[in-house]
């Protein structure tokens, strides 16, 4: 066996999985070649060391999420095997990929506008009817945007949920479903980025008293100072004077993060 040939068998030799003939040949070579023997000993030590490296363990959250999703998948399978309602059958045509969802939304918009325009010229529909059709189309587009946002915000991947939140920016301020999804994200999403982004998207819903109350209630529940600061900033942007008692409490809360306390003090100065 040559030096080059011996290298190929080294890792199996360290793992003790080499065949008997090859092992004898390799040991014969190592006995005669000091350089290969030294290299085998050095690398072999590292090879064994690799198996001693402590294994990273996933959080318990992974198991919970897996069983929840598996349950939902089975439920979906059972529902589809029973035939499902006409709404479910219709929903099955809705694509899973966000790119296709956006493409389909755009195509539907173009088709809708074309039909509307064609009918208008063909039948000489008056301006009032055209305006009403346009309003209907706007409503449909808004509905689709809502579907995309809600669907993305339920994804496993944090980056997909971030996309969902960015869709929520364009939702109508009266869309309570999107508002509820954003509030859920702020209070329960495990990813800080998603929570901060969701706080930012709440600006659209600032006029709604539900938003203001939910923001105030969420501050003490948050574990991340970054999210707490984002929520305080939102209250200042919304000029929410009713938040003053809550903020004052926060400035004296010794368990709160120092930067959160400072931000609460800053907010108090602006709101009072």
Between 133 and 189, whose beta carbon lies closer to another protein? Answer: 189
52 lies in the binding site for another protein (CB under 8 A): yes
| Least CB distance to another protein at residue 57 (A) | 7
Q: Of 81 and 254, which has the nearer Cβ to another protein?
A: 81
The residue among 114, 101, 183 whose CA lies nearest residue 143 is 101
Nearest 5 degrees, angle CA 225-CA 229-CA 234?
Answer: 150
Considering the rule CB under 8 A, would residue 62 count as an interface residue with another protein? yes
Residue 150 · residue 183 · CB < 8 Å:
no
Query: Count residues contacting another protein (CB under 8 A)?
Result: 45
What is the maximal distance between C-alpha atoms in the chain?
99
User: Which of 13, 205 has the CB closer to another protein?
Assistant: 13
User: In degrees, to the nearest 5, what angle opens at C-alpha 89 toward C-alphas 84 and 90?
Assistant: 145
Q: Does 73 bind another protein (CB under 8 A)?
A: yes
Stretch that binds another protein, among 70-78, 139-147, 205-213, 252-260 (CB under 8 A): 70-78
Helix, strand, coil in percent for the chain, rounding step 5? 80, 0, 20
Q: Is 67 in the site for another protein (CB under 8 A)?
A: yes
Alpha-carbon distance of 169 to 202, in angstroms, equals 8
Among 50, 87, 92, 122, binds another protein (CB under 8 A): 50
Integer distance in angstroms from the first to the last C-alpha of the chain?
Answer: 86
**DSSP symbol at 48:** H
Closer Cβ to another protein, 43 or 109, answer by number: 43
Indicate whether 271 belongs to the interface with another protein (CB under 8 A).
no
Is 42 an interacting residue with respect to another protein (CB under 8 A)?
yes
Closest approach of another protein to the CB of residue 72, in Å: 11
Distance CA 244, CA 212 (A): 12
Closer Cβ to another protein, 68 or 242, answer by number: 68
The contact mask relative to another protein for 149-178 (x = CB under 8 A, - = no) is -------xxxx--xx--x------------
Q: Is the dihedral of CA 185, 198, 154, 159 positive or negative?
A: negative
CA distances from 102 to 16, 154, 247 (A): 55, 17, 41
53 binds another protein (CB under 8 A): yes
Q: Tell me: does residue 51 bind another protein (CB under 8 A).
A: yes
Which residues are at the interface with another protein (CB under 8 A)? 7-12, 42-43, 46-47, 49-59, 61-63, 65-67, 69-70, 73-74, 77, 156-159, 162-163, 166, 190-193, 196-197
């Amino acid at each position: 066996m040559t030096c080059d040939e011996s290298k190929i068998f080294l890792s199996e030799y360290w793992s003790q999985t080499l065949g008997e003939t090859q092992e004898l040949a390799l040991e014969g070579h190592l006995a005669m070649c000091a350089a290969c023997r030294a290299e085998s000993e050095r690398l072999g030590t590292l090879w064994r060391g690799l198996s001693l490296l402590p294994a990273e363990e996933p959080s318990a959250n992974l198991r919970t999420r897996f069983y929840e999703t598996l349950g939902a998948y089975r439920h979906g399978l059972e529902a589809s095997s029973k035939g499902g309602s006409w709404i479910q059958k219709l929903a099955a045509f809705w694509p899973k990929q966000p790119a296709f969802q956006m493409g389909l939304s755009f195509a539907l918009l173009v088709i809708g506008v074309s039909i509307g325009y064609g009918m208008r010229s063909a039948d000489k529909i008056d301006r009032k009817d055209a305006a009403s059709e346009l309003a209907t189309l706007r409503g449909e587009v808004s509905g689709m945007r809502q579907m995309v946002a809600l669907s993305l915000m339920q994804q496993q991947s944090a980056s997909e949920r971030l996309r969902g939140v960015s869709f929520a920016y364009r939702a109508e301020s009266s869309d309570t479903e999107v508002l509820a999804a954003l509030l859920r994200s702020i209070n329960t999403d495990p990813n800080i980025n998603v929570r901060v982004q969701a706080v930012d998207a709440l600006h659209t819903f600032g006029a709604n008293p539900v938003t203001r109350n939910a923001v105030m209630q969420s501050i003490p529940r948050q574990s991340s100072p970054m999210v707490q600061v984002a929520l305080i900033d939102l209250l200042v942007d919304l000029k929410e004077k009713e938040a003053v008692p809550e903020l004052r409490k926060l400035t004296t809360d010794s368990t709160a993060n120092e930067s959160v306390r400072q931000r609460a003090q800053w907010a108090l100065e602006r709101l009072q």
